[in-house]
Amino acid sequence: MVNSLNPAKPVEKPLLATIDGKQQKRPPIWIMRQAGRYLPEYKQVRAKSKNFIDFCYSPDLATEATLQPIRRFGFDAAILFSDILVVPDALGQSVSFVENEGPRLPPLLIENNLSELRGTIDLDRLSPVFETIARVKEALPVETTFLGFCGAPWTVASYMIAGKGTPEQAPIRLVAYRHPEFLERLIQRLVESSITYLCQQISAGVDAVQIFESFAGALTADGIEQWSIKPIREIIDGVRKMYPQAKFIVFGRGSGANHIKYARDTGANVVAIDWSVDPTWAAQTLQPLKPVQGNLDPLAVVAGGDQLDRRVDGILEAFSKGPHIFNLGHGIVPETPLDHVERLVKRVRG
């Protein structure tokens, strides 16, 4: 990578350097769900596509959505605009999004033993996503890190089994007890699909990827190893067979002290933590293992004012002795005022 104005000088991407364990003067910042409904310009492009999944498969619209938060706030990373549910969609379990309700899929039936699914993901179906990556890569400032992503198998399987979001993920937890062989087969299919999908994302141009285990908090102490840590480790190992330098951020939302397992046992470069985790504990326990990403409560950004400032300062201070990527502890919510986001970015940058 070279700077076009000064070819002799290599360009540093501060966020990518942090993923590599190099602490920066100020922590780089991006925000989960940074492209989304809190942005008026997002709502405008979003209105051009009725079905959200079609929006994800439109390179023009998805490229624009990816770049919007970079233009407005100059975040240190852009995250590909897509969704974790394109993977089941590309396995033949068609996904739609019902307005104000969320995703809907025809639930997998145990007795069908995965016969509804393809053996491998349909890369043709996903080709618009790779096209989006190529276009974003062309348009991004050189200092901006480009992140791809996928959902972790347990989180994606939860939607595939229930056909929608479910309180405390009861349907998949019951399947784990009653039909563990079935769940094992499904998780394996997702491990293989995720390896293929992430390798294609890297080949198309992303610098690093985040794996979202949004439902880590629903797992028991023994379940977390079997259904989350092990499959994530298999994905990371599988991708690194193709791309030995591939870099991963792993986010086990709601996993409490088990965030240690995500840091230590998955092969991730960075451990992302949710807003329930005490930053002082995380700095002592996780940061010596891996750079940490997080973990401001998204609602502190909605509230703004002194609350926001104090919490931002507390997080900056707690993680000041090692590599840290500033982020929220989960996705930004649609009601967030734009001036609060500006205030946050300014404060993090000093």
Alpha helices in the chain (DSSP H): 14-19, 40-46, 52-56, 59-73, 86-90, 127-139, 153-162, 170-178, 180-204, 221-224, 230-242, 259-265, 279-285, 298-303, 305-318, 338-349
Q: Residue 108 gets which letter from DSSP? A: P
Nearer to ligand CP3 among residue 182 and residue 212 (C-beta): 212
> Contacts with ligand CP3 in 321-350 (CB under 6 A)?
331
**Sole window of 83-91, 174-182, 290-298, 340-348 interacting with ligand CP3 (rule: CB under 6 A):** 83-91
**Sole window of 34-42, 183-191, 264-272, 285-293 interacting with ligand CP3 (rule: CB under 6 A):** 34-42
Minimum Å gap between C-beta 304 and ligand CP3 is 21
- Active-site option among 46, 72, 104, 343: 46
Amino acid 290 reads K
CB contact burial 243-279 (16+ within 10 A = b; e otherwise): eeebbbbbbbbbbeebbbbbbebbbbbbbbbbbebeb
Q: Is 235 in the site for ligand CP3 (CB under 6 A)?
A: no
Q: Residue 229 gets which letter from DSSP? A: I
Q: Do 312 and 348 meet the contact criterion of CB atoms below 8 Å apart? A: yes
| Residue sitting closest to ligand CP3 (CB) | 214
**Among 52, 57, 146, 326, which residue sits at the site for ligand CP3 (rule: CB under 6 A)?**
52
**Among 27, 88, 103, 205, which residue sits at the site for ligand CP3 (rule: CB under 6 A)?**
103
Q: Is 196 in the site for ligand CP3 (CB under 6 A)?
A: no
72 included as an active-site residue = no
Which residue's entry shows tokens 């996928």?
150
Amino acid 260 reads I
Q: How distant is the alpha carbon of residue 288 from its chain centre?
A: 22
Q: Is 34 in the site for ligand CP3 (CB under 6 A)?
A: yes
**Among 28, 36, 153, 298, which residue sits at the site for ligand CP3 (rule: CB under 6 A)?**
36
Q: Is 81 in the site for ligand CP3 (CB under 6 A)?
A: yes
User: Rounded to an integer, what distance in angstroms lies between the CA atom of residue 324 and that of residue 344?
Assistant: 16
46 included as an active-site residue = yes
Q: Is 37 in the site for ligand CP3 (CB under 6 A)?
A: yes
233 included as an active-site residue = no
185 included as an active-site residue = no
Amino acid 62 reads A
> Residue 337 phi/psi, 5° resolution?
-70, 140
177 included as an active-site residue = no
Residues that bind ligand CP3 (CB under 6 A): 32-37, 46, 52, 79, 81, 83-85, 97, 102-103, 149, 151, 165, 212, 214, 331
Q: What residues act catalytically?
A: 33, 37, 46, 83, 159
